[in-house]
Chain A
């Protein structure tokens, strides 16, 4: 092989594979579901069997992971202190960045989980001409992440409509807010806006695209990204896209879909006639996401609650934390120390516990004595 060709292969085989493999995987998943749904007998598999299995995997897997984490000990209280400690009464204490009691921790965690507070601190370093370094507030990642997660949440809440009858007020409220922005385009060839447009779906699609493009085009982020970073992005893109496609383009038979989903939730599964193939793609993607979830980085959903640098109080000097596996360690006792240095101590008048024997037995094995540290430079 020519060097150039080999070089090209090496390049392909390295970083680009990291998104090509998951992209192919999602396309294959699409084909499986789309084609499979055409086969009459397989509709039951895609519409009922797989969703059930996926949900079971999700629930058990999630629990398994969280239990796994909580089985690991928390030997030390190691919160990251992000503000002034509580010390002297006249020094203003930064309650939520350096929390000392449970409710302050709860606020810190709530700010973290609900508003992505740490990401809100994000800065971007720039090395400028003349060697000055600047750190500017950089909120795109924060905004993108927030948009992604909240859009996803709203979409999820909206989907409760398919699993609860009658549709709860909260869900209707969310829907009303979500479709507050109305836009209708009605042409003979192109109709848009009916049914009412939910912003969340499009926002989710936009946010997930942003997160993907960021991985692809921000050099440092591309460098650190691996297949399991791209895969869920593609999958969620597929979920959002198929959902939007169903709603606004193929105009799926919502009544039939609801019959199916209500069947799932009431354990009387059925496959009504007239359910579009895109629906099976949609629900298959969702199933894959659910089943994949517990074995992936998506578990940050659970892990963020258990992060010891965030969920612990900073009052480590005021209240003793217990290490469940604390064990006694070999120490160099004062007596051993004095035994070695007693004569020298007495000579310069440092108080000792025991006065030296009249005939001192000097010099412990000097070859095991470490060299005194030399001061550098």
Chain B
């Protein structure tokens, strides 16, 4: 796969000039490297979504249900009534073009249909034809067209080239949010069984095993045990953790990706170390859960209903375990769901308490209704109150920059907390240029379920603006570590960096925290959590190499 991806010097030759031909007359060309494989029918069936079947995007015949047009028309109509956002966004765009060059996929590919306005017009053109009088009268000249198979294929191709990052919505004078339009479009596609497998199978896995990766409970425990061993090797501290523990103070939920693959695993180790520290010092009892072993929610990329079905486990598990409130790990879209959807979908949560940090006494007023606190808020509060003993010089070999993940940025607004933490656990922090961070941040290029292997060209192109900004601080300040608070980032950014800025590595926030955290009774640290020597602290005698375990990661289960 990877060798078919164009080289960086080829991919950077981007022509942003649109073709001469009217966009409606340019037929969709579903190109290898740019699309994700079709959903596995078993996965679609497992969660009871309609029209499960084998199909191939490259085939002419997508084996659509006979009345697919009617299904989509009715589905469209229903969503116009259920979502004011959808209806208003269909109606009020003036095509001013402010969004055009704000999309990372447009910047990276030059494909005009990746301009947010045109992505929306793909649906809007059908909306005009089906639901407005004006559209019918003027037809094509007024941007209206009937829904044909070709149009449908265009929808599918480009709705799975949007990572729902909402950057365009920041710049739109009416706040038109392409994420919202893509979500509706994908819901419609799911009505006729047109999902991608990188979304459909994690959804099925999550429904069954509690997490996207399909890790069964015993294997999940194995993995945590494995971290415990590693931590002991590095720090000399033997720690303990809770799993599915009833009566714990706090339930901790984080994306399973961090339990599964590097470099997220180091962040997961960081969580374990932090919780151990808090237990030892302050008696705080945090539990992990196997049933709720997924923070992320690929249902969010499928339909609102699927999102709700998967999300329901968080409150259900908190209730079953009788915890006081829920703490959420570092993850992007997970936090969009938690922040903007969870309480509405699966609340109210009268069985939980308003979140208070038992250590600092801080009331997390901003989470008083949905009872879920972001770990960056939690840790920043601990640091502010001097509750963590930290040695930031252990991160001195790192020159760190911070990638604001799209959803926590534009669906939550968590900007200062992670930066505060980094500044307290690292001595060298450099932000990327202002137009590429905070609410202007660029997507990793692989969000919203597009983090597959087969669409590598799309991912590298879409990640270009992010990588370009990293390259800037790398060249200017020698930045060698890209920190983020998202598990998809931790999976997506390493190959992106490898491709565009190979000198930069990727880390989670709590890996940095754990590196700096002085654990009670620990040995002097000579390596960081990755088992790499900390410059100036190496032990002279040969240390056994702390297994830079790569692909050989324990297979999930079975």
Contacts and interface: CB of A to CB of B under 8 A. Distances in A.
A228 B138 contact: yes
| Chain A facing B: main interface SS | loop
Given A75-B82, A320-B370, A220 B100 contact: yes
Contacts of A227: 138, 141-143
A229 B173 CA distance: 16
Interface in B176-229: 176-177, 180, 201-202, 204-205, 207-210, 212-218, 221-222
Contacts of B435: 123, 135
A165 interface: no
B344 A72 contact: no
Given A87-B414, A224-B115, A219 B17 contact: yes
A104 interface: no
Interface in B147-176: 166, 169-176
B170 A224 contact: no
B141 to A, nearest CB: 5
Interface in B102-158: 102, 107, 112, 115, 117-118, 121, 132-134, 138, 141-143
Contacts of B551: 375
Contacts of B180: 78, 309
A297 interface: yes
Most buried by A among B107, B172, B215: B172
A337 interface: yes
Contacts of B468: 131-133
Contacts of A307: 85, 88-89, 92, 174-176
B48 interface: yes
A377 B367 contact: no
A141 B98 contact: yes
B92 A300 contact: yes
B446 to A, nearest CB: 10
Interface residues of A, number: 113
Interface in B517-558: 551, 553, 556-558
Given A76-B341, A348-B218, A297 B45 contact: no
A300 B174 contact: yes
Interface string A251-275: 0000000000000000000000000
Contact of A133 (B45, B173, B216, B465): B465
Contacts of A81: 409-413, 439
A224 B214 contact: no
Interface in A67-94: 68-78, 80-88, 90-92, 94
Nearest to A131: B12
Contacts, number: 378
Given A141-B96, A375-B260, A303 B174 contact: yes
A316 interface: yes
Contact of A297 (B1, B92, B381, B465): B92
Contact of A303 (B2, B14, B82, B88): B88
A338 B313 CA distance: 13
Contacts of A303: 88, 91-92, 174
B341 A119 contact: no
Interface in A188-231: 218-229
A82 B365 CA distance: 20
Nearest to A16: B22
A178 interface: no
B276 to A, nearest CB: 19
Most buried by B among A21, A131, A326, A351: A131
Contacts of A220: 16, 18, 97, 100-101, 112, 115
Contacts of A362: none
B85 A122 contact: no
Given A73-B82, A370-B46, A299 B170 contact: no
A98 interface: yes
A276 interface: no
Interface string A116-153: 10110111110100011101000001000100000000
A348 B48 CA distance: 31
A330 B92 contact: no
B305 interface: yes
B1 to A, nearest CB: 7
Interface in A9-25: 10-11, 14-15, 17-18, 21
A82 B439 contact: yes
Given A73-B83, A221-B95, A376-B452, A330 B48 contact: yes
A145 B22 CA distance: 26
Nearest to B553: A375
Interface string B77-95: 0001111111111011111
A296 B142 CA distance: 11
Contact of A344 (B173, B204, B217): B217
Interface string B13-43: 0101110111111000000000000001011
B175 A118 contact: yes
Interface string B354-366: 0000000010111
Contacts of B205: 370, 372-373
Contact of B169 (A80, A345, A351): A80
Given A121-B170, A224-B100, A370-B42, A83 B141 contact: no
Interface stretch (B241-249, B277-285, B386-394): B241-249
Contact of A309 (B43, B169, B261): B169
A350 B221 contact: yes
Given A72-B80, A226-B143, A368-B46, A133 B317 contact: no
B7 interface: no
B18 A223 contact: yes
Nearest to B11: A131
Q: What are the nearest 6 A-B pairs in CB distance?
A: A14-B22, A372-B214, A85-B413, A303-B92, A81-B413, A226-B143
Given A119-B173, A123-B102, A310-B175, 10 more contacts: A121-B171, A122-B98, A220-B16, A223-B23, A317-B367, A334-B313, A337-B208, A372-B213, A376-B452, A377-B456
21 contacts: A10-B25, A15-B20, A68-B87, A72-B83, A83-B415, A87-B377, A118-B171, A123-B102, A123-B435, A127-B16, A135-B433, A221-B96, A295-B133, A297-B95, A299-B92, A317-B366, A322-B344, A334-B317, A345-B218, A370-B42, A375-B551
